[in-house]
Amino acid sequence: MTKIAYLDCVTGIAGDMCLGALVDSGVPLEYLIEQLKGLKIDHEYELSQEKVQRNGQQATKVHVNLLQHDDHDHDHHHHHHTPARHLPEIEAMIREANLPSRVTEWSLDIFRRLAVAEGAVHGVPPENVHFHEVGATDAIVDIVGTCLGLDYLDIETLYCSALPTGGGTVYAAHGRLPVPVPAVLKLWESRQVPIYSNNIDKELVTPTGAAIAVTLVKSFGQPPKMILEKVGLGAGSKDLSIPNILRLWIGESVTEKKTVMST
């Protein structure tokens, strides 16, 4: 029997929601912390988890708390000045991190696809993309951590629901952008992802979340035929009109022969 998983993205997908769903599914946070040390950026962040409520439902929230080094207090701030890295530097970090082979391959593929999308938006080659949010510490931790979690759970094939577009605008490194942001649209276009509006005017799918999905998912749409064994619930940061939770359905395939995850 093939171990498969389905990303149920009613309120979208982001890197930290993936981590939360995986930890909620049984991936030890300590395992992620230990494995991620190979990237040699563990002085830039702390990883923590907590149980939170989203519209009355309990889910796991994983925090990538960025550390300040310019003073002696211990306040942690998202969007603090983390290094903006280019693709070749990130690829070298991943290759040298001594990660499980599938994790290395998946992580490199995700960052490459993200760089291609960002490059297409800005009109520059992927190698010259100056990652801001995307190359920041938390994005690297989210992407490599998600790959570690999927490998730990021995997921062989990943599926995903259609994705909600969200709406409104969001502040980014290049100023105020419409939602979905251009890189997310490019990523969706690259895989012909089915999308719809759930009438929530927020950023629901981040570039990191979109890159993870379009790189690792075999197909988008309805759940595959499976024997459901476990559901992991990963909380998003915002409070929305419906529970802001990524649901990871894990089980055994009942129809397919053994497959490998699409790259």
Q: How do the domains of the chain map onto residue ranges?
A: 3-253
Q: Compute how many other C-beta atoms are within 10 angstroms of the C-beta atom of residue 103.
A: 22
pLDDT of res. 68: 74
Query: What number is the average pLDDT over the span 236-261?
Result: 86
Mean pLDDT is lowest, of 18-27, 133-142, 195-204, 225-234, for 133-142
Does the N-terminal peptide bond of residue 180 adopt cis geometry, omega within 30 degrees of 0? Answer: yes
- Distance (Å, whole) CA 145 – CA 130: 22
- Asked whether residue 75 carries a pLDDT value surpassing 50, the answer given is no
pLDDT of res. 136: 81
Mean pLDDT is lowest, of 48-52, 73-77, 187-191, 204-208, for 73-77
- pLDDT single digits (tens) 160-186: 999 999 999 998 877 899 999 999 999
Mean pLDDT is lowest, of 63-67, 74-78, 197-201, 213-217, for 74-78
- pLDDT single digits (tens) 112-138: 999 999 999 989 999 888 766 555 888
Q: Give exposure, 70-83, as e/b (b: 16+ Cβ within 10 Å).
A: eeeeeeeeeebebe
Query: What number is the average pLDDT over the span 26-55?
Result: 97
Query: What number is the average pLDDT over the span 7-33?
Result: 98
pLDDT of res. 174: 75
pLDDT of res. 76: 42
User: Token digits for 14?
Assistant: 């982001």
Distance of CA 235 to the CA centre of its chain: 12
Query: What number is the average pLDDT over the span 149-155?
Result: 98
Report in angstroms the alpha-carbon separations of 220 from 104, 159, 189, 217.
24, 6, 13, 7
- pLDDT single digits (tens) 78-94: 444 566 788 999 999 99
- Asked whether residue 71 carries a pLDDT value surpassing 80, the answer given is no
**What is the chain's mean pLDDT, rounded?**
91
